[in-house]
């Protein structure tokens, strides 16, 4: 199965997004939060993120949803720390964290293709909430 | 020559400088960011300072690598991965050296800047730390190329960095958190550019005080 990692400056956001996604997820889908820094402050932490990626990885790939700024820098740094085999199949989605995570969860519950799950997350970029 | 003892002393002094300027850096970041730059820098460099005792015997590259990993594992904002990558790249540019020539220093500085650009994908003119670092590097290189002493070259670098900080007041941020403010970021100086200026100034001061060690 594809794994999903939620990276946010706030551990509450990361945990909350995981909670929200779990309602729509296949029971075996791993959705791992990596929120805040290791001392519990607001921020992102490359070591925490790389641990979350390892935890989420089952061999098919890991899609990573991020919030702003250093979430991306630290996720890229986390990928640099990882072994090439995991690094190759872990990708950051260019998508809003809440909607993108939900779309990725739904797709990952029925598909083992990291490209398809990434596409599903990124498709929400075009969605309109109010018509 | 630039002895590795100086590197250790420089990092001690940087920790002090960051601590003294914590409020200033945080205030600058409050205007266009999330008011944590002073906290991030102090946290990172204090952790580095506390690590220095145990690594002072290593070569320059190993010292810089420990600095990088310490910074990365303690600093939660953008400055963590940016400075972390800068120190990592600096570390790999001086492998096996116990002392650094002027050419080594230029290569180290250039590698650090490339590391920041690799990680943050920013160019000069985007209102980031690069706006003080790149002009400082250019001034230092130009100065050494015409045969100035290291002290003179670093003086010129410090001046160029300060001009770079002033320049950041006139431009829009297109990277990092401040980019969410778009044109409202004009008029404010960039916190990261300011801390990099302070770092260069500190290096310069350490060297001036220890001129006897620099041949
Ligand atoms: N992509 C980038 N490239 C180079 N420098 C950057 C980049 N993004 C931010 N910076 C620098 O980082 C400084 C802010 O550092 P700080 O430690 O406050 O992180 P932050 O922006 O609060 O991080 P976060 O994204 O977690 O909120 C800015 O003033 C700017 O100089
Ligand atoms: Mg900040």
CA distances from A107 to A59, A82, B144 (A): 17, 25, 58
Question: By the CB < 8 Å criterion, does B44 face chain A?
Answer: no
- pLDDT at B71 (0 to 100): 96
Is B22 in a helix, a strand, or coil? helix
Q: How confident is the model at residue B66 (pLDDT cuts 50, 70, 90)?
A: very high
- pLDDT at B2 (0 to 100): 81
Question: Of A36, A68, A74, which is closest to B81 when you measure between CB atoms?
Answer: A74
Looking at the CA of residue A43, tell me the nearest atom of ligand 1: 26
The Å distance, Cα A9 to ligand 2 centre, comes to: 11
What does pTM read for this prediction? 0.94
Answer whether A99's CB lies under 8 Å from A36's CB. Answer: no
Ligand 1 site: residues with CB under 6 angstroms? A 9, 43-44, 68-70; B 29, 33-34, 36-37, 40, 77-79, 82, 116, 120, 122, 128-130, 175-177, 190-193
Q: How confident is the model at residue A131 (pLDDT cuts 50, 70, 90)?
A: confident
What φ, ψ does residue A130 adopt, rounded to 5°? -125, 125
Residue of A nearest to B122 (CA): A73
- pLDDT at B213 (0 to 100): 54
Assess whether pLDDT exceeds 60 at residue B126.
yes
Assess whether pLDDT exceeds 60 at residue B101.
yes
Q: How confident is the model at residue A117 (pLDDT cuts 50, 70, 90)?
A: very high
Q: Which of residues 157-176 of B touch A (CB under 8 A)?
A: 176
Is the Cβ pair A77, B177 closer than 8 Å?
Answer: no
Percent of chain B with pLDDT over 90: 90
Structural domains for chain B: 2-213 (1.25.40.340)
The CATH homologous superfamily to which domain A3-126 belongs is Phosphotransferase system, mannose-type IIA component (3.40.50.510)
Q: How confident is the model at residue A122 (pLDDT cuts 50, 70, 90)?
A: very high
Q: How confident is the model at residue B3 (pLDDT cuts 50, 70, 90)?
A: confident
- The DSSP 8-state label assigned to residue A27 in this structure reads T
Is the Cβ pair A73, B82 closer than 8 Å?
Answer: yes
- ipTM, two decimals, is 0.91
Tell me the per-residue pLDDT of A36-65, one tens digit each, with 9 for 90 and over: 999 899 999 999 999 999 999 999 999 999
The Å distance, Cα A51 to ligand 2 centre, comes to: 24
Tell me the per-residue pLDDT of B70-94, one tens digit each, with 9 for 90 and over: 999 999 899 999 999 999 999 999 9
What residue ranges do the domains of chain A occupy? 3-126
A9: annotated active-site residue:
yes
The Å distance, Cα A27 to ligand 1 centre, comes to: 38
Assess whether pLDDT exceeds 60 at residue B214.
no
- pLDDT at B180 (0 to 100): 92
Beta-ladder partners of A66: A7
């Amino acid at each position: 199965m594809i794994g999903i990692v939620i990276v946010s400056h706030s551990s509450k956001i990361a945990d909350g997004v995981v909670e929200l996604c779990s309602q729509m997820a296949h029971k075996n889908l791993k959705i791992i939060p990596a929120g805040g820094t290791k001392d519990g402050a607001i921020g992102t932490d490359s070591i925490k993120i790389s641990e979350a990626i390892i935890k989420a990885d089952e061999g098919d790939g890991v899609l990573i949803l991020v919030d702003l700024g250093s979430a991306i820098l630290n996720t890229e740094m986390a990928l640099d720390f990882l072994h090439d085999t995991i690094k190759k199949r872990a990708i950051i989605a260019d998508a809003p964290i809440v909607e993108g995570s939900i779309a990725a969860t739904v797709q990952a519950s029925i598909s083992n293709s990291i490209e398809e799950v990434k596409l599903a997350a990124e498709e929400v970029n075009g969605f309109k909430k109010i018509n | 020559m630039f002895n590795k003892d100086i590197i250790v002393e420089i990092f001690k002094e940087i920790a002090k400088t960051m601590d003294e300027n914590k409020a200033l850096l945080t205030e600058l970041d409050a205007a266009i960011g999330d008011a944590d730059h002073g906290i991030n820098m102090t946290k990172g460099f204090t952790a580095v300072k506390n690590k220095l005792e145990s690594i002072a015997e290593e070569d320059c590259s190993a010292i810089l690598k420990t600095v990088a990993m310490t910074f990365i594992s303690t600093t939660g904002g953008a400055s963590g991965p940016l400075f972390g990558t800068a120190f990592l790249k600096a570390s790999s540019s001086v492998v096996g050296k116990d002392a650094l020539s002027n050419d080594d220093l230029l290569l180290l500085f250039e590698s650090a800047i490339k590391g920041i650009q690799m990680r943050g994908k920013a160019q000069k003119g985007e209102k980031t730390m690069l706006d003080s670092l790149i002009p400082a590097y250019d001034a230092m290189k130009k100065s050494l190329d015409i045969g100035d002493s290291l002290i003179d070259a670093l003086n010129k670098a410090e001046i160029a960095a300060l001009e770079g900080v002033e320049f950041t007041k006139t431009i829009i941020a297109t990277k990092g958190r401040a980019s969410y403010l778009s044109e409202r970021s004009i008029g404010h100086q960039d916190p990261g550019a300011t801390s990099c200026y302070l770092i260069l100034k500190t290096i310069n001061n350490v060297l001036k005080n220890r001129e006897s060690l620099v041949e």
